[in-house]
Amino acid sequence: MRKAKVQKDKKQEIKGLYRRGQVYWVAYKASDGSVTRESTGEKSREEAEYFLANRRKQVRDGEIIEARKRKNNKFAELAKDYLEWAERQKSFRDKRLLVKQLVDRFGTLKVSDLNTKIIEQWQSVQLRGNMPATVNRKLTVLKHMINKGTDWGMATEDTLKRVYKVKQLKEENTRLRFLNIEECQTLIDCCAEHLRPIVTVALHTGMRLSEILNLKWSQVDLKHGFILLDITKNGERREIPIDNTLTMMFNSMLRGFESKYVFTGKDGDPYKSVKRSFSTALKKAGITDFRFHDLRHTFASHLVMASVDLTSVKELLGHKSLAMTTRYAHLSPSHKRKAVNTLDNVLNESQKEAPVHNFSSQLGTKEQNNSISSYAPVAQMDRATVS
């Protein structure tokens, strides 16, 4: 027993080897005397010991870049290496756009120049034209870049600590802006030719902009009447019914350049953004305080107001939990009325011999038969597709 304890103590005495979470990290001196810390990526102590021994050999052989040279890495250089690594990820297209925006701001800076103050000031500027959730997504990518840069020897632990001190912004998810039927039709009429089918798909499916712009013809099954999204924001597969309006629209679209994408420019490549043309359409339509994502809210809101149950709306939107969909619940008081009437019927049925609170005769049948008005379709949207 004592021998085992001595061996354990001996293992703990290995200088330069420590754990962060479940992974081992190492610390060793570079040829200039500075200390370098990096992740081994290993959970096994034996593999981590081998990693450390190999790093020390590389230092002796002059293969390890000195720390003072690593400090000269530009943020743009880190971004280039990061994107090459990120190509394996499902969210690469979205992440590439976020990295580009980060490079536009920090590209000329040295990675070692990044600090809490610079990034917090950047947050404040970003809030002038973005929602807190959007800024938070960019910050998350920035932190991950520096984290990987530390693993690759392109950033120091001190830089990583400074960046991670920046806190996420509080997100306000209570905003629910949607268009009425007349506004929907006016917006479609004011859209440029290339934008009109994109907005129509958004209004009729509730798809996210990235899902629409990356939509391929192979995902559109007109025979069986659905759009298949293999990779969605929550990582799950989603099938979206196609109504009559979309069926006619897709059938009438010309597939130029034999592109695999549905919405493309003259060169056959998919659109990267419709921000400018969508803004122009909003101005022509006289619609203010509205974003493209609000078309998704419009889709969901009109379904709920048409008394479509929240579970069906959840599945159409691709929400992971019903809690995300309940933000629309207040638009449909009918489900509460049905619940109360169901209880009323049960109680009255059980109290036929001695009714206690049957107020039907007092209220009359007219009040009982009131219901939410039928759903006025957006550009002839098929209500049957969501029933």
pLDDT in tens, 342-356: 666 767 766 655 544
Query: Quick check: 28 and 16 in contact, CB under 8 A?
Result: yes
For residues 211 and 114, what is the distance between their CA atoms, to the nearest angstrom? 34
Does 357 participate in catalysis according to the annotation?
no
Does 208 participate in catalysis according to the annotation?
yes
Residues of the chain with CATH 1.10.443.10: 181-331
User: Can you list the pairs that 377-381 forms with residues at least 24 positions away whose Cβ atoms lie under 8 Å?
Assistant: 377/181, 378/181, 378/184, 378/185, 378/203, 378/204, 378/298, 378/299, 378/302, 379/184, 379/185, 379/188, 379/200, 379/203, 379/204, 379/245, 380/244, 380/245, 381/203, 381/204, 381/243, 381/245
CA atoms within 13 A of residue 307's CA, in its CB half-sphere: 10
Phi and psi angles of residue 74, each rounded to the nearest 5 degrees, phi first: -80, 155
In this prediction the pTM is 0.51
Does 338 participate in catalysis according to the annotation?
no
Q: What is 71-164's CATH topology?
A: DNA polymerase; domain 1 (1.10.150)
Q: What pLDDT is attached to residue 384? A: 39
Cα dihedral: 197, 198, 201, 205 (round 10): -170
Cβ-proximal residues to 163 (8 Å cutoff; 6+ apart), any chain: 114, 115, 116, 119, 142, 143, 146
Q: What does the angle CA 207 – CA 211 – CA 216 come to, to the nearest 5 degrees? A: 115
Q: What does the angle CA 324 – CA 241 – CA 247 come to, to the nearest 5 degrees? A: 140
Does 293 participate in catalysis according to the annotation?
yes
**CA distances to 179, 206, 212, 303 from 182, in Å:** 8, 18, 23, 16
Query: Quick check: 203 and 295 in contact, CB under 8 A?
Result: yes
In the sheet that 226-229 helps form, which strands lie side by side, from edge to edge?
220-221, 226-229, 238-241
Which listed residue (56, 196, 293, 337) is catalytic? 293
Smallest CA-to-CA distance from 249 within 212, 282, 295 is with 212
Which listed residue (196, 233, 291, 335) is catalytic? 233
Within 117-188, strands assigned E span none
Residues β-bridged to residue 39: 25
The domain 181-331 is classified under which CATH number: 1.10.443.10, 3.40.50.300, 3.30.750.24, 1.20.120.80? 1.10.443.10
Q: What pLDDT is attached to residue 51? A: 87
**Strands 220-221, 35-39: pairing kind:** unpaired
Residues of the chain with CATH 1.10.150.130: 71-164
Query: Quick check: 17 and 24 in contact, CB under 8 A?
Result: yes
Angle, helix 157-164 to helix 132-151, in steps of 10 degrees: 170
Phi and psi angles of residue 127, each rounded to the nearest 5 degrees, phi first: -65, -15
pLDDT below 50 — which residues of the chain? 1-10, 67-68, 355-387
Does 328 participate in catalysis according to the annotation?
yes
Which listed residue (95, 208, 238, 327) is catalytic? 208
Residues β-bridged to residue 25: 18, 39
Neighbouring CB atoms inside 10 A of 42's CB total: 17
Does 216 participate in catalysis according to the annotation?
no
Q: Which amino acid is at 351?
A: Q
- The residue assigned the tokens 């973005």 is 130
Which listed residue (55, 95, 204, 296) is catalytic? 296
**What are 247's two structure tokens?**
């069926």
